[in-house]
């Protein structure tokens, strides 16, 4: 394999965490690996809700931390919750300084929305449902103007190289569908900020490339993975036949929108005291149950917002218009869709993975903040906090290399010879995850999924990107099989009860997951 060595810090990803870390590392030379043009294809840019922070004078970071712990159903690390929420306000002010155009009141304060399981209105928004896109836009402008940051657009990371438990390089390919022969890029340090796993499911709100590849390649290199089974399903993805499914932001329910079925029945009041603002896992299961029963769940914004929905929530209005829906007149069909992965690469409070020389931030990480059920709008906040933590850790631990030309850009020339994932195999994987490892799970279904994954990986072992997808899917299914209880976003039809007391986080190595998968496949043969 061709190798390129650089003194730059290598950042995999192009979402909020990657951009913010690159800016905090400046003037250290950085190279970002971005499969798409900056601003396209990152989950951060699709985030509609906003950033959670205790900005109201009556609110307090301790309240925010307590809500985070409560929503996480017994597996949140309280120290991490305190760490992330304590300085959340500072990150809002920093983003404002960097140009994020948060919605403001007439007296200059921040417009705050309340979302599910928050005890206060503390979600800072931009143009109603444009938070992710507008924050990303502001940071991308800063990144483009920072000479120390080089962005390799149209490039995808597919593997990690290690020596004695230390990461020594990252294999990259052209992200075009034809792919290229991989190049081993060896840098000064490595930060993974490449998103989650929602696209492993056929019904998802995530961008097309977010399919667990970053978690998978770390696992294949021997990194410890935690909480893999905890996948959050957003209750109100628009059920309009698009892939990915457009998102009907939770802020709509915060503004008073209600959930009804095709018979006009409002069903959440009988399920939870907070009705539509119950924790996401509760609402998602209710939506799923309505769908399974053929009752066609819908989000009704007519009375709460009327025609204002079109101006207050432009992304929702645009998606409705594409599909012939007028939300001022018609309820919006919704379904539960894979949205956020609480699990991922295990990190300590310094953002370090179990492999030496590797840092992780954002959705690919598992810090202990989200537990079994992420509190709404904590995802962008965690990405910001740990991006800075990782940048500070890299600066402290990795000596800067002084050169006469510190910002000389890398010249990457890909050659033919790579293998792209087979589209039919990817679709089979995604359909398997939705039908057998989805909102409600069982031992029989999970074992069936693992047998299918075993066969898919055997048949398509020549594509590293597909192997990464299979690795993450396998760990989700294995950890879901081993957790014989229902907790947070993890629902087992055959184990509906939750173990008493504080929950236990799951920990797995890919080698262990593959051994169990192989045994299950052998027993089924």
Q: CA dist 315 to 36, 123, 141, 456, Å?
A: 21, 17, 22, 36
Selection from 473, 465, 470 nearest residue 419 by Cα: 465
Residue 289 dihedral angles phi and psi, to the nearest 5°: -65, -40
Q: Would you state the torsion angle of the CA atoms of residues 36, 41, 45, 48, taken in this order, to the nearest 10 degrees?
A: 170
Q: How far apart are CA 78 and CA 68, in angstroms?
A: 9
Q: How far apart are CA 9 and CA 393, in angstroms?
A: 12
Residue 165 region by backbone torsions, left for phi larger than 0, else alpha for psi between -120 and 50, else beta: left
* Active-site annotation, residues: 280
Contacts of 128 (CB under 8 A, 6+ apart): 103, 251, 311, 312, 313, 314
What would the DSSP string read from start to end of 63-107? HHHHHHHHHTTT---HHHHHHHHHTHHHHHHHHHHTT----B-TT
The tokens of 209 are what? 């490339």
Helix runs in 173-241, H state only: 213-220
Residue 168 dihedral angles phi and psi, to the nearest 5°: -120, -5
């Amino acid at each position: 394999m061709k190798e390129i060595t650089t003194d730059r810090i290598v950042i995999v990803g192009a979402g909020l965490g990657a951009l913010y870390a690159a800016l905090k590392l400046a003037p250290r030379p950085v190279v970002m690996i971005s499969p798409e043009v900056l601003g396209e294809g990152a989950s951060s840019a699709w985030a509609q809700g906003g950033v959670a922070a205790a900005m109201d004078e009556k609110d307090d970071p301790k309240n925010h931390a307590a809500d985070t712990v409560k929503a996480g159903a017994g597996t949140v690390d309280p120290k991490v919750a305190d760490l992330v929420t304590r300085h959340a306000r500072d990150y809002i002010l920093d983003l404002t300084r960097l140009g994020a155009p948060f919605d403001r009141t007439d007296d200059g304060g921040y417009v705050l929305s309340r979302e599910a399981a928050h005890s206060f209105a503390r979600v800072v928004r931009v143009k109603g449902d444009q938070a992710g896109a507008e924050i990303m836009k502001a940071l991308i402008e800063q990144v483009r103007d920072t000479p120390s940051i080089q962005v390799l657009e149209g490039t995808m990371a597919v593997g990690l190289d290690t020596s004695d438990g230390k990461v020594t390089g990252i294999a990259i390919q052209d992200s075009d569908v034809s792919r290229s022969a991989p190049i081993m890029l060896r840098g000064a340090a490595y930060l993974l900020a490449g998103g989650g796993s929602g696209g492993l499911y056929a019904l998802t709100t995530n961008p097309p490339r977010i399919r667990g590849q970053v978690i998978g390649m770390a696992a294949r290199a021997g990194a410890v993975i935690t909480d893999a089974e905890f996948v959050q399903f957003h209750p109100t993805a628009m059920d309009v036949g698009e892939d990915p499914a457009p998102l009907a932001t939770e802020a709509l329910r915060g503004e008073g929108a209600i959930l009804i079925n095709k018979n006009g029945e409002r069903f959440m009041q009988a399920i939870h005291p907070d009705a539509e603002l119950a924790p996401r896992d509760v609402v998602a299961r209710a939506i799923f149950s309505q769908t399974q029963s053929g009752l066609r769940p819908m989000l009704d914004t007519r009375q709460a917002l009327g025609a204002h929905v079109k101006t207050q929530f432009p992304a929702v209005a645009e998606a409705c218009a594409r599909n012939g829906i007028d939300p001022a007149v018609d309820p919006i069909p919704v379904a539960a869709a894979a949205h956020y992965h609480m699990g991922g690469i295990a990190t300590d409070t310094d953002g370090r993975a179990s492999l030496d020389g590797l840092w992780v931030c954002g959705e690919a990480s598992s810090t202990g903040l989200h537990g079994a059920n992420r509190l709404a709008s904590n995802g962008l906040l965690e990405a910001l906090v740990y991006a800075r933590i990782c940048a500070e850790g890299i600066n402290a631990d990795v000596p800067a290399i002084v050169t006469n030309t510190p910002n000389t850009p890398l010249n990457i020339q890909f050659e033919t010879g790579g293998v792209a994932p087979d589209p039919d195999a990817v679709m089979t994987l995604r359909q398997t995850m939705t039908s057998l490892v989805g909102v409600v799970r069982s031992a029989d279904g999970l074992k069936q999924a693992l047998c299918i994954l075993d066969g898919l990986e055997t048949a398509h072992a020549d594509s590293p990107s597909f192997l990464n997808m299979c690795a993450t899917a396998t760990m989700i299914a294995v950890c879901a099989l081993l957790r014989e209880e229902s907790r947070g976003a993890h629902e087992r039809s055959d184990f509906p009860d939750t173990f008493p007391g504080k929950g236990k986080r799951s920990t797995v190595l890919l080698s262990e997951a593959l051994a169990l998968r192989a045994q299950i496949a052998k027993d089924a043969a």
